[in-house]
């Protein structure tokens, strides 16, 4: 199996944008704009857990995505799955220092 055959899961990449509030400031919550419509990745859930907070069950999972090397994915971005799942990016690193692939470490269920 070649390397690219492992990249079977499509994600989009969104970047936060500050929106002016019309009074010289910015809205508290940023809007999220799609900057990369499709990135094909391998996907692996590494750990997870759940706990009660504010009378609701909060689910949290740490995940890793691997894709071809690119420099336009930032730690302030988020990955969005085809089902709408939002993964906050925690780290982007060159997987083997060869600029062939990158590892994107993310968290699901954590809102910044």
pTM comes to: 0.78
Which tokens in the block code for residue 73? 């994915």
**Distance of alpha carbon 109 from alpha carbon 62, whole angstroms:** 9
Q: What is the structure's pLDDT at 45?
A: 86
Q: What is the structure's pLDDT at 26?
A: 82
Q: What is the domain extent for residue 56? A: 3-108
**How many domains does one find in the chain?**
1
Q: How many CB atoms lie within 10 A of CB 84?
A: 6
Nearest to 106 by CA among 13, 30, 7: 13
Instruction: Classify burial at 67, counting beta carbons within 10 Å of its beta carbon; exposed 0-12, middle 13-18, buried 19 or more.
Output: buried
Taking only the tens place, the pLDDT of each residue in 33-73 is 999 999 999 999 887 565 556 666 556 688 999 999 999 99
Taking only the tens place, the pLDDT of each residue in 15-44 is 998 888 888 888 778 889 999 999 999 999
Res 8 pLDDT > 60:
yes
Q: What is the structure's pLDDT at 68?
A: 94
| CATH at 83 | 2.40.10.270
For residues 88 and 78, the answer to whether their CB atoms sit within 8 Å is yes
Q: 10-14, 57-61, 74-78, 93-97 — which is least confidently predicted? A: 57-61
For residues 82 and 66, the answer to whether their CB atoms sit within 8 Å is no
Mean pLDDT of 3-11: 80
**How far from 53 is each of 14, 57, 63, 88, CA to CA, in Å?**
27, 6, 22, 19
């Amino acid at each position: 199996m070649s390397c690219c055959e492992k990249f079977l899961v499509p994600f989009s990449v969104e970047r936060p944008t500050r929106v002016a509030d019309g009074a010289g400031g910015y809205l508290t919550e940023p809007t999220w704009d799609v900057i990369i419509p499709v990135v094909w990745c391998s996907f692996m859930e590494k750990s997870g857990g759940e706990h009660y907070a504010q009378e609701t069950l909060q689910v949290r999972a740490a995940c890793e995505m691997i894709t071809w090397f690119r420099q336009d994915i930032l730690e302030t971005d988020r990955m969005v799955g085809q089902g709408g799942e939002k993964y906050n990016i925690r780290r982007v690193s060159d997987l083997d220092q060869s600029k062939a692939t990158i590892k994107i470490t993310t968290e699901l269920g954590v809102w910044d």
